[in-house]
A and B are shown apart, each in its own frame.
Chain A
Amino acid sequence: MDEQSISLTVNGTEQNGEAEPRMSLADFLRERLGLTGTHIGCEHGVCGVCTVICDGMAVRSCLMFAVQADKKEIRTIEGLADGDTMHPLQTLFSEQRALQCGFCTPGMLMTAVDLVDNNPSITPPEIKAGMSAVLCRCTGYEGILKAVEAYAKQIKGV
């Protein structure tokens, strides 16, 4: 099938690219834009490793076709830090030992950004339920939940 042109904003920068309709947003980000920070773990929407933010909401980038992201605003893990300054969640993930192999980490971070930034009054049980959207095989989740809880506290200003 022929490739189609798409233009979208990724991490604040306008990007133009070509994609065959069947190309997933995840593959497009990784292969066409070189943004390999978004990982692919299952390609059927269960593991959540490929989660990115689309128009302010976390989505599975393996279940969206790149052509569907035309005119959308996408945020990936590469857009989290401000230059050399780490995003608070990144710092907290490191402090709380919320990563080991780091493969699920992009999905965890983008999911946490959506959960907390869009719901600053989120409670620890809601965080636990919300973070269940992404699977981690290394950490046992304790550090991840602590990091996201600490981030929520920061956002709330507690």
Chain B
Amino acid sequence: MPDTIPGYIGQSVPRREDKRLLRGEGLFVADIQLPNMLHVAIARSQFPHARIKDIDLSKALSAEGVELAISGEDILEQLPPISGMQLATPPGYQERVDTDIQIPDQPLIPHEKVRFVGEPYALVVARNRYLAEDALELISTDFDPLPPVATTDKALDENAPLLHEKLGRNVAAILHTKKGQGAEALKTAPHRLKRRFYHHRYAAMPMECRGVVADYDARTDTLTIWSSTQVVHWVSREVANSLGMPEENVRCIAPDVGGGFGGKGHVYPEDILVAYLARRLQRPVKWIEDRHEHILNSTHSRDNIYDVEIGFDNDGRIETVVSDFVVDSGAYSPIGAGIAGNSIAHMLGPYDIPNYEASSKIVLTNRTPNAPYRGAGRPEVGFAMERAVDLVANELELDPAEVRFRNMIKADQMPYSVGLTYRDGVPIVYDSGDYPKALERALEELGGLKSIRKRQKDALRQGRYIGLGLGCYVEGTGVGPFEGATVKIDATGKIVVATGACPQGQGHETVFAQVTADLWKVPIEDVYVTVADTAHVTMGYGTLASRSTVTASGAIQLASDQIKEKAFAIASGILEAGEKDLELRDSGVGVKGVPGMHISFRDIATAARPGWGHKRPEGIDAGLEATSYYEPPTVTWAYASNAAIVEVNPGTGQVLIENYVEVHDAGVLVNPAIADGQVKGGLVQGLGGGLMEEITYDENGQLLTGSFMDYLLPSASDVPPITVIHQETPSPLNSLGVKGLGEGGAIAPPVVIANAVCDALRPFKAEINSTPVRWGEVAAIFGDDPFKATSTTTTPEMEK
């Protein structure tokens, strides 16, 4: 290997994960088969809200193959609920944002009442899943239906029934923050615009549902849990707490995980229950969530109503934004105030706006709990804000692109202090980037604003409705509190890395090998990476919130620095050279400028070993191993501009996306191909949310979309041509210059589509202020006669 290694960071290194996954040799939780294993099936409420009067398990218990059946009462003494307050907000946050947070606890299996369709009320453990499901049908129940709190409006009614009597209200949290004059500034604004916006409920919907396998070893009193989760350390900690075991004795592994996107980003009751059952029965226990259960029971997301008022001047410069929004949190709130906190922090986006005021209520209803999903509060607030910006442009008869340019923070304003506080408690400072350039490039990619507008006009004359939709956002990424990594160099000279990151397809084994190889200037083949296993690193946080590249890389770097110091001290002694004259090269340490003077990592590791033969200088302790925890100073700010051209069919209302462009900046890209895939995958999830994916409840809180026949994920045929352009402005907050990017793609598409359709339907002064954009509603804008709008003679003239 030459002295000047080109470096792996920035290279689209092929993924290490691919081979096993392509050969059917991956290991997902459902693939784990252990001798004597038992299988769990869970009885789930069909009522949105009901008091549990009686559950009779006797028939289920005597059914074929059944080992155990339990209801909430049976575990009441043994297993505490999942605490609602486990995700405390940092002190700095509460000082700067007014909060009133009372998150309800979530029982593992409720014994008093059920609060959403799909909530567990009993479970059966049997020889196989077929028999376990047979036994579920033998459970007889006496439930007393309670009036359902089906919507946030109903929940906030003063006579509303309470979901959680202890709280005394159907509100889990109230947040409020203000910048400048806040709402006061509306009074002096030359123009005001007020609208209600709604972002509907949809969900992460990974192709692999969740699943847990647990195995208890009585000899050592240890539990091993395999969970399809994004947060192994969080799972092991909760299980240890619940079962009264030391964390050390609870190992949690997330093997190959089939997508997560936030939906697997917290501890669920089943994680703890399955572990409990394995210990109680002293046999391996497996629970695999089926798709119906997943749709009912795994967390949903979005579902926010925004009331927004904007004050602006004659030039379209926004003077203040006032927002009052409600999050439908469902029956519990596993991530606390995280979503609303994100929404508040991200509303001003890439714009330089002097005044702002936001109030939020996180409201409890009889729906499936709401937790972060790819974007986590940003798509919701982005929909409200970016629609509002278009409406401001309409008011002034300006181009929406122009209004954005006029309000955007300029590159020379960076770093830009927003005047708000992030949910890590730190004042928000956008660290780097060029927002106007991103928008400019997105428009250029579509042919430039002028030519788009000309094309649109020409098309309209022929009775064709073409529209341009824009959507810009900023995204705090790489959030703390920390991530852990252990780095070792063993006596073979190989570098072994473990982090708390828990990938679900992000290619971490590859990405962190690239980072490590560059830090040590070694061939990537000499780096071994393990992820998502609590046995390999003591404390970790997990993979969510677009954070792992930033935080796990930071931890790997800190740990590496510690070992490097030792390696240099040892090399200095052996090579008899000053440490300042040493450098990393050729899989070892050498004296700068002296080719022969070199010692390999293998020899350094041997020299570092404890015992008689060691060659460590005085004061250097044994071993080449370190564990470090990176606590980022605050978040790095990724951002993007999205632009799409759509054509609306006046007969059918179908929205054809001709071209979709996202100019995205996540700083330095460690593996550009992986980064590109992350953004594109996110975009398609956003398009799904914008046009077809929807979780629907009826007015009584009954879930209507319980299968893939009714919950529509986009397929290959639904994907338009997509171009992603990466604008790489390094972050000054970390030495690699990286920012996070997992979520970004999913943020903008719903509003881009809505803006584009409204732009196409400008002659009708169409306003679509809710998601998803429905063909039927779009068609209705053209009037009752499906043939009228296609006839060129009757087309109203475009205003501009």
Q: Which residues of A contact B (CB under 8 A)?
A: 20, 22-23, 30-31, 34-44, 46-47, 49, 76-78, 80-81, 86, 90, 93-95, 97, 99-106, 109, 128-129, 131-145
Contacts and interface: CB of A to CB of B under 8 A. Distances in A.
Contact of A137 (B256, B685, B716): B685
Given A39-B208, A93-B18, A103 B707 contact: no
A39 B28 contact: yes
Contact of B717 (A43, A78, A132): A132
Interface in B184-208: 205-208
Contacts of A99: 18, 21-22, 505
Contact of B24 (A35, A47, A136): A35
Given A41-B291, A132-B715, A135-B207, A101 B23 contact: no
A139 B673 CA distance: 11
Given A44-B291, A94-B15, A137-B259, A109 B22 contact: yes
Interface stretch (B104-112, B167-175, B468-476, B675-683): B675-683
B343 interface: no
Given A90-B23, A140-B683, A31 B33 contact: yes
A95 B207 CA distance: 22
Contacts of A135: 207, 708, 713, 715
Contacts of A102: 17-18, 20-22, 26, 256, 258, 505
Interface residues of B, number: 55
Contacts of B718: 132
A77 B20 CA distance: 11
B499 interface: no
Interface in B249-281: 256-259, 261
A145 B716 contact: yes
A155 to B, nearest CB: 18
Given A36-B24, A93-B18, A132 B33 contact: no
B25 A37 contact: yes
B722 A142 contact: yes
A86 to B, nearest CB: 7
B709 interface: yes
Contact of A142 (B24, B28, B209, B719): B719
A128 B719 CA distance: 10
B33 A137 contact: no
22 contacts: A23-B130, A30-B30, A37-B23, A44-B291, A44-B707, A44-B708, A46-B709, A47-B708, A49-B207, A78-B24, A86-B23, A94-B22, A100-B506, A100-B677, A100-B681, A103-B206, A103-B259, A106-B24, A138-B677, A138-B681, A140-B684, A144-B716
Interface string B662-704: 0000000000011011101111110000000000000000000
Nearest to A125: B717
Contacts of A94: 14-15, 18-19, 22
A113 to B, nearest CB: 13
Given A36-B30, A94-B18, A100-B505, 15 more contacts: A36-B28, A38-B24, A39-B207, A43-B290, A77-B24, A80-B24, A93-B18, A94-B22, A97-B673, A99-B505, A102-B256, A103-B258, A128-B716, A137-B205, A142-B719
Given A100-B507, A139-B677, A76 B24 contact: yes
Q: Which 8 A-B pairs have the closest CB atoms?
A: A37-B24, A103-B258, A102-B21, A101-B505, A100-B505, A77-B24, A46-B708, A140-B684
Given A100-B677, A137-B206, A131 B716 contact: yes
Contact of A140 (B23, B261, B680): B680
B395 interface: no
Given A39-B30, A97-B677, A140-B683, A132 B24 contact: no
B31 interface: yes
A80 B23 contact: yes
A20 B719 CA distance: 41
Given A35-B24, A101-B257, A102-B17, A41 B681 contact: no
Contacts of A105: 21-22
B342 interface: no
A41 B677 CA distance: 22
B23 A77 contact: yes
A22 B506 CA distance: 37
Contacts of B18: 93-94, 99, 102
Nearest to A79: B24
Nearest to A131: B716
B546 interface: no
Contacts of A104: 207, 258
A34 B206 contact: no
B504 interface: yes
A140 B681 contact: yes
B15 to A, nearest CB: 7
A81 B18 CA distance: 13
A44 B31 CA distance: 20
Contacts of B207: 39, 41, 47, 49, 101, 103-104, 135-138
Q: Which of B24, B681, B685 has the most CB of A within 10 A?
A: B24
A141 B716 contact: yes
Interface string B337-381: 000000000000000000000000000000000000000000000
A106 to B, nearest CB: 6
A143 B28 contact: no
A101 B256 contact: yes
A51 to B, nearest CB: 12
A53 B698 CA distance: 40
A39 B30 CA distance: 8
Given A81-B23, A99-B18, A138-B505, A44 B709 contact: yes
Contacts of B674: 97
Contact of B708 (A42, A106, A138, A141): A42
A104 to B, nearest CB: 5
A101 B166 CA distance: 41
Nearest to A96: B673
B130 A41 contact: no
**Among A47, A95, A142, residue most surrounded by chain B Cβ atoms (within 10 Å):** A142
Contacts of A40: 30
Contacts of A133: 715
A1 B684 CA distance: 44
Nearest to A90: B22
Interface in B26-64: 26-28, 30-31, 33
A137 B506 contact: no
Contacts of B205: 137
A93 B507 contact: no
Interface in B419-475: none
Nearest to B687: A140
A22 to B, nearest CB: 7
A136 B523 CA distance: 33
A142 B717 CA distance: 11
Given A30-B31, A128-B716, A141 B684 contact: yes
A104 B716 CA distance: 13
Nearest to B290: A43
Contacts of A101: 21, 206-208, 256-259, 504-505
A128 B717 contact: yes
